[in-house]
Amino acid sequence: MNHSAVETASVLPALVIFVPTATALLIFAFGRFVSWLRETLAFAGVTFALILSVIIGYKTLHGEILTSFETQLYADSLSALLISMVSLVSFVAVVYSLKYMRHQVKEGGLPHTTTSGRLTAFYGWLMLFISTMIWACLSNNIIMLYVAVEASTIASGLLVAFYWDKRALEAGYKYLMLLTVGITFSLFGCVLLYATGSNLPGVGGAKGLLISELKLHASSFPITTIVLASAFLIIGFGTKAGVAPFHPWLPDAHAEAPTPVSALLSGVMIKVAMYALVRTVTIFYPSFSPVAMFALGLGVFTLVIGDLMALAQDDLKRMLAYSSVSQIGYILMGFGIGTQLGIYAGLFHMVNHAIAKALLFLAAGAVIYSTGMRNISQLGGLAKKMPITSFCFFIGALAVSGIPPLNGFHSKLALFVAGADAGNWWAVGFGIAASLVTLVVLLKAAKNIFWGKESEAVADTSVREAPLTVVISMLILAILCLGVGLYPKAVYPPIKEAASYVQTINTSNKKWRLLKTRRSGNHMTEVRKKC
Amino acid sequence: MTHISPELIHTLSLLMILTSFAAVEARNLRHSTVAYLAQALLICGLLFAYSTQNSALLYWAVTALITKAVLVPWFLWNATAGHEQETKPLIGFGPSAVILIALLAVMYKLTHMHASLFVAQTQELAEIANTNLAVAFTVFVLGLYAILTRRDAIKTVIGLCLLENGVHLSLVSLAPTIRETALAGIATEVVVTVYLLLYIIGGIRSKFGTTDTFKLSELHW
């Protein structure tokens, strides 16, 4: 915990939400009439959001907590890490979309309105989707956190059904229905927290809505309320995060959405839901540690289910989607371990998976772009014709599997060390076994697609490397996977700082014990408002 | 503080159970929409009654009137044009009635036994809150029941609306002092979700030729 963190009123948290929202509105208003405007505005919007996120990250790393609208928007290091992750993956997704989506809409002969209308809708909803995810990461108001998370579902609903064929429509319907029902549970949880919190002495009124306030008084909550609220929150936000057994929407939506949207869904959206879960549930860790044990059990269950299901897939994007379920299991496992190292490992894996899985989806999209095929069994020998895509896919596959010297290795190692340190050897055992399965699944797919004999589809002379913007966006992520892997110290400070804002439990002596110092640290936070 | 009549609140709450049941069980989707509309008006009535305690709820009552009682029924009415008859559900009227009574009894028992779990209030308000919570949870579970057992996609959307109504009623009961901004956000979201769902269901009808969710079988595993 940064004990000397200073709360500073700033326009930055509001601006980083406003920029993509305004861009979306401009795209909706003028996109149909000026063809170059859609792409230009989207690119400018995400670039600006990325710059703002980095500035917020820099300031929070140097001892500031930025707030807007009193403390309704609240950017500490944890929020800053998340919005930087969202902005970065969004930036790459938009660069990737520039050529990719024009090709998909024009060549794909999509029905339902004109090409111009389709692209306008795509970029408009995409920017709204990005802004709602950033909003969720900055919201300090517990009800608005729910609203922002649900808003991101709404903004992405039509993106999932974008291709408007039977599969996409079915995926879109399931996506909106299941996520709305699921997230409604978390509203119950949020209301329960507010209702109980606002009746505590010293909280009252509008203060009871603020997570930063509730966190300080979490130890005064009755155990029954903690159990009930945690259950509702885990079901609600867990559904959106793709935690098993609430994950059935995930493979459908990830597989049927356009590739840049799949990269965003898998790379960041499910992490934003996980962030909401962490922000709300971990406030009870110091006073009621069984919540953490429950999260750990659910995390291990999720990683096993995800990996087993990924083994059975032939559809490339579906396989990657199930692999995401498994990786979400690892992240939840880190938060379930609940120690400082566990939280650090969970956050680190969140960042690594965002980069690596977005890369894998983009590479899968490049394969689909060039060959028109998505079944692993129909592909083969693509490495010669698509060397860069092939390289990127292998980097992504090895990174997600946790093979050194790539980024995933460090976070998985930290995760297993944290598990062992806390005495949760059973979870570590499952984690290592599932990692081996992940390696087998991803490398087998990579081998079938890129090595061996050229399949009939690939033998077609028209198959060649994807366009420049697609290749550039994949290379950015591949370089990040390698860079973080070779020099993990670069990301250590922001992740460690972010982890210090999550409540932890101390499991030394292999017992669930309270870490009282954590809460006293909160009280030491100096509060100073600048006008 | 102006007192609100417990009788009025109880009557409105209990009528909500009946409208929920009618919305789930009516085989004609337009009749179901009308039952939902009646429930939306009851919620607005409850919010107006509660607004004597918290003026922010007056603001929400007006928002709910526009979103729940005008926009959502209007969307549903348009979506059912020419397709009024619901696809036969999994569970029929008789078993549904038994399930409803059982649900209501369980929810009453639960909320009254564990009242302390929720908000500490004056005895009179606690009584109202407990009744409302029992009703809210019943409406919520009935909505969930509709989503799980009805095959027609539009009926599942009506189920979703009931589910949301249940949550909103519980919200008012548990947190009557909640702020306007939060309420506006929640109310707006429901209406946009319903609109988008019905829009996608329109696409499903044109591609699959039906709104029977059992026929949505393109994606497995």
Q: Do B221 and A309 lie within an 8 Å CB cutoff? A: yes
The residue-averaged pLDDT of A448-459 equals 82
Q: What is the pTM of this model?
A: 0.92
Secondary structure class of A60 (helix, strand, coil): helix
- How distant is the alpha carbon of residue B68 from its chain centre? 9
Query: How do residues A126-155 score in pLDDT, each as one tens digit?
Result: 999 999 999 999 999 999 999 999 999 999
The residue-averaged pLDDT of A181-204 equals 84
pLDDT band at A522 (very low <50, low <70, confident <90, very high): very low
B133 class by beta-carbon count within 10 Å (0-12 exposed, 13-18 middle, 19+ buried): buried
Question: What CA–CA distances, in Å, run from B16 to A226, A417, B102, B183?
Answer: 29, 54, 16, 20
Alpha-carbon gap, residue A78 to A66, rounded angstroms: 12
Q: Do B193 and A154 lie within an 8 Å CB cutoff? A: yes
Closest in A181, A194, A312 to B175, CB measured? A194
pLDDT, greater one: A372 or B132: A372
- Block residue for tokens 């009254």: B112
The one-character DSSP state at B86 is P
CA atoms within 13 Å, Cβ hemisphere of B129? 22
Give the per-residue pLDDT at A511. Answer: 41
Query: How do residues A410-419 score in pLDDT, each as one tens digit?
Result: 999 999 999 9
Q: Do B203 and A161 lie within an 8 Å CB cutoff? A: yes
pLDDT, greater one: B53 or A72: A72
Q: Do A177 and B221 lie within an 8 Å CB cutoff? A: no
Task: Determine which of B150, B189, B211 to mutate to test the interface with A (most A C-beta atoms within 10 Å).
Answer: B189
Closest in B119, B175, B216 to A173, CB measured? B216
Q: Is the pLDDT score of A456 beyond 80?
A: no
Closest in A169, A176, A192 to B174, CB measured? A192
Secondary structure class of A334 (helix, strand, coil): helix
Give the per-residue pLDDT at A529. Answer: 39
Q: Over its length of 221 residues, how does chain B's per-residue pLDDT go in tens digits?
A: 456 677 777 788 788 888 998 998 888 999 999 999 999 999 888 888 877 767 777 888 888 899 999 999 999 999 998 888 887 777 777 888 888 788 778 877 777 666 555 555 555 556 666 777 888 888 988 899 999 888 899 999 999 999 999 888 888 777 766 777 777 788 888 899 999 999 999 999 999 988 888 888 777 75
Q: Do A191 and B207 lie within an 8 Å CB cutoff? A: no
ipTM, 2 dp: 0.91
Q: Identify the sign of the CA torsion B127, B131, B134, B136.
A: negative
User: Is A224 in CB contact (< 8 Å) with chain B?
Assistant: yes
Give the per-residue pLDDT at B122. Answer: 53
Give the per-residue pLDDT at A260. Answer: 96
Helices (H), A108-208: 115-138, 142-160, 166-197
Chain A, 359-418: which have a CB under 8 Å from a chain B CB?
none
Alpha-carbon gap, residue A332 to B40, rounded angstroms: 39
Q: Is the pLDDT score of A515 beyond 50?
A: no
CA atoms within 13 Å, Cβ hemisphere of A36? 0
User: Beta strands of A212-302 (E only): which ranges?
Assistant: none
CA distance A237 to chain B (A): 16
pLDDT band at A519 (very low <50, low <70, confident <90, very high): very low
Chain A, 493-512: which have a CB under 8 Å from a chain B CB?
none
Alpha-carbon gap, residue A261 to A315, rounded angstroms: 17
Structure tokens at A442: 């991803």
Long-range contact set of residues A163-169: C-beta below 8 Å, sequence gap at least 24: A163/A108, A163/A110, A163/A256, A163/A258, A164/A110, A164/A111, A164/A112, A164/B203, A164/B207, A165/B207, A166/B207, A166/B208, A166/B218, A167/A256, A167/B218, A167/B219, A168/A256, A168/A257, A169/B200, A169/B203, A169/B204, A169/B207, A169/B208
Give the per-residue pLDDT at B152. Answer: 92
The one-character DSSP state at A70 is T
Give the per-residue pLDDT at A517. Answer: 37
User: What letters, b where the CB count within 10 A reaches 16 and e where it falls short, cover A82-110?
Assistant: bbbbbbbbbbbbbbbbbbbbbebbeeeeb
Alpha-carbon gap, residue A354 to A270, rounded angstroms: 10
CA nearest neighbour of B2 among B54, B75, B42, B69: B54
CB under 8 Å to A130, separation ≥6 — which residues?
A20, A45, A46, A49, A86, A87, A90, A264
**Which residues of B are less than 8 Å from A205 in CB distance?**
177
Amino acid at B101: I
Alpha-carbon gap, residue A331 to A41, rounded angstroms: 34
Asked whether the beta carbons of B174 and B129 are under 8 A apart, the reply is: yes
CA nearest neighbour of A181 among B180, B30, B166, B31: B166
Q: Do A181 and B114 lie within an 8 Å CB cutoff? A: no
Closest in A166, A209, A251 to B182, CB measured? A209
Closest in A141, A172, A188 to B200, CB measured? A172
Give the per-residue pLDDT at B219. Answer: 74
Alpha-carbon gap, residue A208 to A141, rounded angstroms: 9
Query: How do residues A226-259 score in pLDDT, each as one tens digit?
Result: 998 999 999 999 999 999 899 999 999 999 999 9
Give the per-residue pLDDT at A111. Answer: 60
Structure tokens at A56: 């917020």
Amino acid at A127: M
CB atoms within 10 A of CB B94: 8
The residue-averaged pLDDT of A263-290 equals 93
Alpha-carbon gap, residue A34 to A269, rounded angstroms: 30
Give the per-residue pLDDT at B153. Answer: 93
- Across the A:B interface, residue pairs with CB atoms under 8 Å apart total 124
Give the per-residue pLDDT at A3. Answer: 52
Alpha-carbon gap, residue B83 to B89, rounded angstroms: 16
Give the per-residue pLDDT at B176. Answer: 66
Q: Do B163 and A256 lie within an 8 Å CB cutoff? A: no
Closest in A154, A173, A191 to B170, CB measured? A191
Residues of chain A with pLDDT > 90, as a percent, come to 71
CA atoms within 13 Å, Cβ hemisphere of B208? 24
Q: Identify the sign of the CA torsion A394, A395, A398, A399.
A: negative
CB atoms within 10 A of CB A28: 17
* Longest Cα–Cα distance in chain A: 73
CA nearest neighbour of B174 among A432, A183, A209: A209
Asked whether the beta carbons of B39 and B16 are under 8 A apart, the reply is: yes
Secondary structure class of A170 (helix, strand, coil): helix
**Which residues of A are less than 8 Å from B189 in CB distance?**
147, 150-151, 154
Mean pLDDT of chain A: 89
Q: Do B203 and A196 lie within an 8 Å CB cutoff? A: no
Chain A, 423-482: which have a CB under 8 Å from a chain B CB?
none
Which is it for strands A64-68 and A6-9: parallel, antiparallel or unpaired?
A: parallel
Structure tokens at A193: 């927290």
